[in-house]
């Protein structure tokens, strides 16, 4: 928990992107920019007003940026910022967690040998994998 704000790191992250649609919009943008209609097609269950709201919220949070491609009528495509691309790692971990708990889902696999991938904390300075029990208090929820 951040002593200054009284907010845990997880709570702070969830305030930025903690709803279902925001995460799915980010996932839809991982392969590159998309126009509003393309996002709507990629997420057929989302209502257009909710998609508009989530895109605006993600823009305010610095996760998505709208780039105009037409002036009249005004139209833009949406793309992830560097901050949004950083979020992709967390989404992959969450997707992997969900995959391991689904009966029919396949785990993420290494493309060269086919081994299921594992995510681990790693210190690049010490070249050591960090066990979850050795992780700093700020990474425990």
Q: Collect all residues with Cβ–Cβ distance below 8 Å to 108 and sequence separation of at least 6.
A: 92, 95, 96, 99, 116, 117
Rounded Cα distance, 72 and 53, in Å: 22
Rounded Cα distance, 105 and 98, in Å: 9
Domains defined for the chain, CATH in brackets: 9-107 (1.10.10.10)
For residue 128, what pLDDT is reported?
86
Rounded Cα distance, 77 and 36, in Å: 7
Rounded Cα distance, 100 and 103, in Å: 8
- Tell me the pLDDT tens digit for each residue of 10-67: 787 778 777 889 999 999 999 999 999 999 999 999 999 999 999 999 999 999 999 9
Q: Do residues 100 and 83 lie in contact, with contact meaning Cβ atoms separated by under 8 Å? A: no
- Tell me the pLDDT tens digit for each residue of 73-123: 888 999 999 999 999 888 888 887 787 777 777 777 899 999 988 777 788
Rounded Cα distance, 75 and 69, in Å: 6
């Amino acid at each position: 928990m951040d002593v200054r704000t009284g907010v845990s790191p997880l709570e702070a992250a969830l305030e930025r992107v903690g709803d279902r649609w925001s995460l799915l919009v980010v996932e839809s943008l991982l392969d590159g920019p998309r126009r509003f209609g393309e996002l709507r097609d990629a997420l057929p269950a989302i209502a257009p007003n909710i998609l508009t709201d989530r895109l605006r919220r993600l823009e305010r949070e610095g996760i998505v940026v709208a780039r105009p491609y037409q002036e009249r009528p005004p139209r833009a495509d949406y793309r992830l910022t560097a901050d949004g691309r950083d979020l992709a790692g967390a989404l992959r971990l969450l997707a992997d967690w969900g995959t391991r708990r689904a009966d029919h889902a396949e785990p993420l696999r290494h493309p060269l040998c086919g081994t299921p991938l594992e995510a681990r904390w790693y210190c690049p300075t010490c070249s050591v994998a960090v066990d979850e029990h050795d992780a700093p208090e700020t990474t425990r929820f």
